[in-house]
Each structure stands twice: as structure tokens, then as C-alpha cells.
Structure 1
């Protein structure tokens, strides 16, 4: 019983990061109607940046965290002004923009490989990581920190979208862009905010997961698929559902790796994604038309 609980706690930590990736997918999709397939590699940027600052330059996480945020904002601005807006101005169809996001992610991975090396590397924990006893279980502080920060971000995002003027304006843009423009909302500015919020959240997820899984330029694709699976499983319409789906996926993956084989763990996300797409493809399509 204790073993199963330990595995569930470990899955909860990793699954919470999957939920953050899903949250990044949702924010951009609601604002623009596109699916950003570079999302996983944006998490990789956060992980690799934290590795460079902490392990290569020997600085503390007090420096690494703001550096990760600044890098995330720069990536968001390049993504918005260098890819999405030029394609939209040319009247490119949605699928062309989606392919563009995939290429953007590949470019990020290749740049990371050139800068940090094409290897998966360990990253020191954010806090002293000696196991602590909690209700008879042995829990590492890094695991608890990842879960707490991930869910704190969810609460913060909910507050932003439901209790701030910018968040409410962004929701209006997602529901009806033309109507938002008529009411005086500066739609381009709101879209830039959406990209920044989405990518900053995802990069912070990379910083949190780097001490658990390591950091490397090739980690983004697999993690991105798992985050996308969580988003689709949650219906692409709810932050809470996406986070719960991400946690469920993380727990399922951890239990599978222990009780069956680690060789099956990665296949779980692909199977879940396939099933989710088969069960509820229409909901995603309807949302794409509504937010386009």
C-alpha cells in the first residue's frame, strides 16, 4: 500500500507539470484558435535555461527564476511577432500556422542543442531534497514544491482570467474577436499577453520538472504530447479538467512503469491521446471555429 501511495505522489508531481503544459495549450487556443505544437519545446527552454544558469554558471535559483521568465517573454514575443502575426497577415490557413509552430519548436530544440549540448543532464533541486516523512510516507521536498507551485499557478491563472480587466478582455477576444474590437479592446495587445502568459507558465513548468527528469534539447516532444493529451482529455475547454487529466496521466504513467515496465510508460500518453481524440473530436473542432 505504501509503495502505491509513493508512486501516486510521484505521478502527482509529474502529472501537475503535464497539466501546466495543457494550460499553455488552452490559453493560446482560446485566444487564437490555433494549437501550438511548440509548447513542449517551450517547456524544454525553461528546463535548459535553468540548467545553464544553475549548473553551468553556478548561480542560484534566485537568479535562474527571473532569467527563465525573461527568456520565456522573449520567446513569446518572437513567436507572436515573428511567426503567428506574419502568417495571419498573409491570410495563411490555420493548418499552416500549426505547421509553423511545429517548425518553431524544432528550431528551439536545435538552438538548445547548440548552446547546451545534445544530451539530457541532471539539474540540482530548487530546495534541499532530503526525504521527509509525511504520514508514514517518504516524500522529497522537490516533489511537494512542484505540486504546490503548479496548482498555485492554476489558481493565479483563474484569478487573472476572472478577476482582472486584462483577463476578462482576453476571454472576450477568445469568444468573439470582432465583437471585442468593436467594444474597444486592443486585440493584438491581448493576443501578445496570451502568448506571454502561456509560454511563461510552460517555461516555469520546465524549471520545476528539470530537477526531476533532467534537462535536454530532446525532452520537449514527448512532454508536449503528454500535455496535449491532457488538454484533449480535458476537452480543451477547462483549466481544471486539463490539470486533473494531466495528474491522472502522470499517475497512470508512474504506476505502469513500476508494475509493468518503463517501456510501456511513454506509450500510455499516446494511447490516451488517441482515445481522447476518438471520443471527443467534435468539441475541439467547434472551439476552433468559435475562436478563429
Structure 2
């Protein structure tokens, strides 16, 4: 029982962590906040089920195609919408409203395209379950956990070991100095939005077989991922992971040993307490000016 709960908590915690990383990546790269990450996950799940179920493509191809499309969508949003608003002198609150509008557009376009019913993602593996310490676990749950870990590690390596990743970090710290050194700051910002969108879409594809695919699936995931990012220290990548896993364990064990009716109440109640006691989060992340 406990092993199954731990695996489930790590699985959903990795989902929150990956989406939370997207929030932090956008914030670090551009100093802005996007509230559309949850619906990016939802839209990626719909793309994935289209490629895999309806077009009969191999799962890995469906996943890669979804990631490419979501990356381009993220860059399009930043380059065509967000940048234009900034050039017009729009305040930060208007950027946030823009991302909320994008979220609504994604939801409604998904409903018009795929309908409002829950779509069942076909099985990815031939086996219905695998044994871990004598406990039967669905392989799709392990896939979510594995993909989440791979994404987190790959992103960390990209940001710290590649020339472009280091350029992104430099541009996030000081745009003027980065530009003086020849770094294409607009490109780094657009890439950050693209990567955040791509990560959400990728985790949406692998979580689809676990929860099904439906229009509102990204709403609560996005909110809890945001909560995890705040608790960890908004903008801190490791903080987003720790915060996401924390909420994954919290809601899993509250549902198992207390009640599932109030798990969201407890989750967001703790978020408020953390915001009051530790406004900079667990990692004491400084607010960007």
C-alpha cells in the first residue's frame, strides 16, 4: 500500500514539477508570468492522442511531434503576442491577462476540435502492470515518472552545459550586458517560452494514458504546479521540483489516509501558510526587478 502511494506521489509530483519548471523558466528568462502552462499540458495531450490513436503513429513519434509543435507554439506566443504587447508599452498585468486569454483559447479550441467528453488514451504497453517490491504498478505511471525525471535532468544539463543554455541564463541575469556580449536576447526569451510550452506538452502526452484526455485536465494541474513553484521559490528550478513533489506527496497521502474531498482545500491552505511564513519560498528566491 505504502509503496504504491509513494510511486503515485512521485508520479503526480513529477508532473507538477515539470509544469512548475516551465513557470520558473519563463519568469527567469523574461521576468514575466504565464498562466497558460496547465492548458499547454492539456493541448499537448490532445495532440498526442491525435497522433497516436487517430493517425496510428508510434508513441515515440507522437511524443516528438507534439514536443516540436508545442515548442513552436510557445515561441509564437512570445514573439508575436507578448513581445508586441511589451513594445506597445503594456504593463505586466496585461501580459498576464494575455496568457489567461491564451488559456481560454486553448480550452475552447480543444473543445471545438475534439469535443467535451473524456478521450481514452490507448494502452502504450502490452503489460497491464509490473511488479515493484511485490506491488503491482501500471507501467504508464512509471512512464510518467521516468519522463519527468529525464526532462528535469536534460533541462538542467542544457542550461548548465550547453553554450546556448548558458547564454539563456546570462540574458536572464542582465539583458544589457548579454546583448553587449553578442547574445541574441530576444531569441533566448522566445526559446524559454518555447521550452516551457514543450515541457508541458510532453508531460501532457505521457499523463494522458493515466487520467484520460479532456478539456479541463490542465486547470488543476497548472494551479498545483504553480503552487509548487511558489513554495519552492518562484523562478528556482530545483524549488519547482521540490515544491511539485511536496504537493504530490501531500495530496496522495491526504487522499489515502484522511479524505479525498478536502485534498485541494488542504493543498492550497498550506500554500497560503507558506506564502505568509516564507514569501520567498523554500529556496529563498529573490524577486526579479
Give the TM-score taking structure 1 as reference length: 0.92
- Taking the TM superposition and a 5 Å limit, the aligned residue runs for 1:27-106 are 27-106=25-104
SS of equivalent residue, structure 2 residue 261? helix
1:171-250 matched pairs, under 5 angstroms: 171-250=169-248
State whether residues 9 and 252 of structure 2, in contact with CA within 8 Å, keep that contact through their aligned partners in structure 1.
yes
What is the CA RMSD across the aligned residues, in angstroms?
1.8
Asked if the contact 2:233/2:285 (under 8 Å) is kept, the reply is: no
Distance 2:258 2:280 in 1: 34
CA distance, structure 1, for counterparts of residue 262 and residue 49 of structure 2: 28
Matched, 1:146 2:144: yes
User: Could you give the per-residue CA deviations for residues 10-51 of structure 1, whole angstroms, max 9, x where no partner exists?
Assistant: 111111010000011011000011111001100111111112
| TM-fit CA distance, 1:271 | 2.2
- Residue number in structure 1 paired with 2:23: 25
**Contact 2:23–2:235 at 8 Å: present in 1 too?**
no
CA distance in 2: counterparts of 1:22 and 1:228, whole angstroms: 6
Q: Please show how residues 256-271 of structure 1 align to structure 2 within 5 Å.
A: 256-271=254-269
The whole-number CA distance in structure 2 between the counterparts of 1:162 and 1:258 is 39
Which residue does the alignment assign to 1:121? 119
Q: Residues of 2 paired with 1:257 and 1:62: CA distance?
A: 33
Q: Which runs of 5+ in 1 are unaligned?
A: none
Equivalent pair of 2:6/2:249 in contact (CA under 8 Å): yes
Q: Which residue of 1 aligns with 2:288?
A: 288
Q: CA deviation at 1:200?
A: 0.7
Contact 1:22–1:231 (CA<8 Å) still a contact in 2? yes
Larger relative helix fraction: 1
SS of equivalent residue, structure 1 residue 35: coil
- Report the secondary structure of 2:131's partner residue: strand
Contact 2:75 2:191 in 1 (8 A): no
- Aligned mate of 1:11, from 9, 14, 17: 9
CA positional deviation for 1:82 = 2.6
CA distance in 1 between partners of 2:162 and 2:87 (Å): 29
The partner residue of 1:279 within 277, 280, 285 is: 277
Q: Secondary structure at the match of 1:133?
A: strand
Deviation at 1:261?
A: 2.5
Kept after mapping to 2: 8 A contact 1:229/1:276:
no
**How far apart in 2 are the matches of 1:115 and 1:69?**
19
| Cα 1:13–1:125 shift into 2, 3 Å | farther
Contact 2:16-2:221 at 8 Å conserved across structures: yes
Instruction: Name the counterpart of 1:163.
Output: 161
1:97-144 Cα offsets, whole Å, 9 max, x none, are: 111111111111111111111122221243334212122222222112
Which moves more between the two structures, 35-44 or 267-276? Answer: 267-276
d(CA) in 2 for partners of 1:15, 1:129: 24
Write the distance in 2 (CA, Å) between the matches of 1:34 and 1:273: 21
